[in-house]
Amino acid sequence: MSSKKRSILDHVFVPKARILSKEEAEELLRKLKATKEMLPKILETDPVVVELGAKKGDIIEFERNSPIAGKSIYYRVVI
């Protein structure tokens, strides 16, 4: 049995996730004509947030593939 710890991000049911850079976050908010407070929230204690090392105020981009909808991208701000 391997002692290597597997990442939760490797699980088939966990969508791809990454922290947006400051510049990417600013561009996203400008494009959406929104503020961080207007984005859906994700808790700082969420396992994906912890694994990514995201901090409060970071915006995380999630990408999920669906056979029906194709690629779906959505965003959450860490609270």
* C-alpha–C-alpha distance, residues 34 and 66, integer Å: 27
Residue 66: pLDDT band (50, 70, 90) is confident
Domain extent, residue 65, equals 20-78
Is residue 9 in a domain? no
> Is residue 29 a part of any domain in this protein?
yes
Q: In this structure, is residue 44 part of a structural domain?
A: yes
What's the domain count of the chain? Answer: 1
Q: Using CA atoms, how far apart are residues 6 and 20, in angstroms rounded to an integer?
A: 23
Query: How large is the average pLDDT for residues 50-73?
Result: 94
* Cα atoms found within 13 Å of the Cα of residue 45, Cβ hemisphere only: 0
Q: Per-residue pLDDT tens for 24-48? A: 999 999 999 999 999 999 999 999 9
Residue 63: give its domain's CATH number.
3.90.940.20
Q: Is residue 34, in this structure, part of any structural domain at all?
A: yes
Query: Which one-letter DSSP state was computed for residue 3?
Result: -
Does 43 fall in a domain? yes
Does residue 15 fall inside a structural domain? Answer: no
Q: How are beta strands 70-78 and 16-19 bridged, if at all?
A: unpaired
CA–CA separation, 30 and 32 (whole Å): 6
